[in-house]
Structure formats: structure tokens, C-alpha cells
Amino acid sequence: MEVKQQYQWHYRHWRLLYTLAAFLLVVLAIGVYLLVYMTGGIKFVYSHSMYVPILLSGFLFGMTGGVLFGLFAGFVLGPFMPINVVTGEMQETVNWLYRTGFFVLVGFLSGMASSMTRSYVERLKMAASQDLATQLPNRNALLEHIARADRGGSPESLVLADIYIENERELNTSFGGAVVDQVIRQFPARVAKALQRELPVFRINSAEMGVLIDVAGQDREELLDALVDVFRAPFPVYDFSIHIDVRI
């Protein structure tokens, strides 16, 4: 299974995986409790094994999960765990509360690091599938959209309309790229007006856009002609209007 397929499988089954992970973390915490108890009590070094599930909980469930599991771990090794099993001497309250505080801190820091990493990955993912100048989905997003449609048994009536701005170079020379981007930002509204429905418009390159249209029960040529007609009207940009030449 490829990495991308693994990611998609994990995304589809995330509830089950997270439930299983939470159960395993609880089991691991109980296992640490038994380890500490069977090796003589909390005064020995084995209690540090609890940091493993705490770090994992923060990594998997973020700051909230790390903090909650830190509290749980502190309670597991807290009032019911003796200092010395042989003598039966119990911990003072301040001792296990202090340890719980450290468990919570470690869980919080682990969760914060995980959340920051996930946020960064999401930004990278968005940047990889979005045209930064116009905020429209880009070529990568189009390919992913087509792949999803193919996996879902996309009907043969699905058509990719390729919208090409023939005078894009002249517009760039005369008005600059920012003005062209302003024009392209208005494409989704024009497409929705022509097709009477909202569809994503993908920016394939600087002068080329794509729209996936399900033409089932409709005349394909009429839809494409409607797209051509709607782009003949000028585009308002700042205090003037821009005319573009479109080929579909």
C-alpha cells in the first residue's frame, strides 16, 4: 500500500483508530502501574515508564488529550500506589500531586508540539493544493478531485472544461499580474451564473482554468456555449473594466 493510500485509509477510519489508541494507552498505563507495584513501589525508577504513554497521548490527541492523560496517569500512580510495597508505606498527598503536575506538563508540551506540527502540515497541504494568488484550487487539487471521482465510479457524463485566457500575456503586460489575478478570482461567480450551479474552478496555470461539469441530461455544447457567453462581459477591477478573450 502506497503512502498516499495509507493516509487516505487512516483518514477514513480515524474514529476507530483513535478509539483503539485510547484503549491501548489506558492498558499501557495499567501495565505501568502493575510494573511499579510488582517491582516494589513508587520509590524505584520504574515509575518513569509512565512518560511513554503520556508522550504518546499528547502526540495523538493534542494538548487536551495530553493533559487529561497526565491527570489519569498521576492518579494511577497516586494515592493507591505505596512507596514501598513490602512495608505498606503510602505516599504523602503532596508527593503524588507534585508528580501529577509534571505528568500534566509533559502531556501538555507533547500535545502542543503535536498540534504545531499538524498545523504546519495542514498549511503545507493547503499550499500544495491552492493557488496562493487567487485562493482557487490548483492543478494538484484538480488531479485529486478527478482521482476521487474515479474511485467513486464517476459517470461518463463528467466533462472537464478547459478555460484558456488567450490575451493573458497582453493583460499582464498592460495591467500587471495583480489585475489578472483579480479577474480570475471572479471566475467561480461567472461559471455559477452560466451553469446555474456552483462548481469549483481550478487554476491549472497562469492563463488556464479547469471546471469539472456533470453534463448528464444536458446538452454539452449548450453548456460550453453558455460558458463562452458569460465570459464576454467585462470584468470590473478597481475603477475600470477588463475584457478577456476566452477559449474553451
Q: Which residues are CB-contacts of 160 (< 8 A; sequence separation ≥ 6)?
A: 146, 210, 211, 212, 213
Average pLDDT on 152-157 reads 65
161 lies in the same domain as 187 = yes
Give 109's contacts (C-beta < 8 A, 6+ positions apart): 58, 66
3-state SS, residue 83: strand
Over residues 107-127, the mean pLDDT reads 89
Top pLDDT among 63 and 221 is at: 63
Looking at 109, 128, 147, which one is the last position of a domain?
128
Which of 148, 144, 73 minimizes the C-alpha distance to 105? 73
Q: What is the SS3 assignment for 163? A: strand
Instruction: Single out the residue in 99, 128, 157 at which a domain terminates.
Output: 128
Is the pLDDT at 145 greater than 60, yes or no?
yes
Q: Are residues 119 and 53 in the same domain?
A: yes
75 and 156: one domain? no
Q: Phi first, then psi: what are they for 163, rounded to 5°?
A: -105, 115
- Measured over all CA atoms, what is the biggest interatomic distance in the chain, rounded to whole angstroms? 90
pLDDT in tens, 126-138: 888 888 888 899 9
User: Do 13 and 103 fall into the same domain?
Assistant: yes
The per-residue pLDDT for 67 is 96
For the purposes of burial, counting CB atoms within 10 Å of the CB of 244, is it exposed (0-12), middle (13-18) or buried (19 or more)? buried
For residue 77, the model assigns a pLDDT of 94
Task: Please say which residue of 128, 158, 191 terminates a domain.
Answer: 128
Residue 133 lies in a domain: no
pLDDT 10s digits, 59-86: 999 999 999 999 999 999 999 899 999 8
pLDDT digits (tens, 9 = 90+) for 3-20: 556 666 666 767 888 899
pLDDT at 53 over 90: yes
pLDDT above 70: percentage of residues in the chain: 92
pLDDT band at 1 (very low <50, low <70, confident <90, very high): very low
- Domain co-membership, 123 together with 145: no
Given a contact cutoff of 8 angstroms between Cβ atoms, the answer to whether 99 and 51 are in contact is no
Please check whether residues 206 and 233 belong to one and the same domain: yes
CA distances 240 to 110, 175, 179, 195, 235, Å, are 53, 11, 11, 26, 8
Task: Based on the fold, state whether residues 38 and 153 are members of the same structural domain.
Answer: no
What is the percent of the chain where pLDDT is above 90?
44
143/124 same-domain check? no
- Give the CATH number, domain containing residue 150: 3.30.70.270
Kindly state whether residue 38 falls inside one of the protein's structural domains: yes
- For residues 67 and 154, state if they share a domain: no
Q: What is the pLDDT of residue 189?
A: 92
Range of the domain at 15: 3-128
Q: Comparing 162 with 215, which gets the higher pLDDT? A: 162
**Helices 51-76 and 14-38: angle between axes, nearest 10 degrees:** 70
Q: Tell me: do 58 and 119 sit in the same domain.
A: yes
Cα gap 195→230, rounded to integer Å: 10
- Is 153's pLDDT higher than 70? no
| 66 & 90 share domain | yes
Residues 123 and 193 in one domain: no
Helix ranges (DSSP H) in the chain: 3-12, 14-38, 51-76, 93-128, 139-151, 168-175, 177-185, 187-195, 220-230
134, part of any domain: no
Q: How confident is the prediction for the chain on average, in pLDDT? A: 87
Domain count, the chain: 2
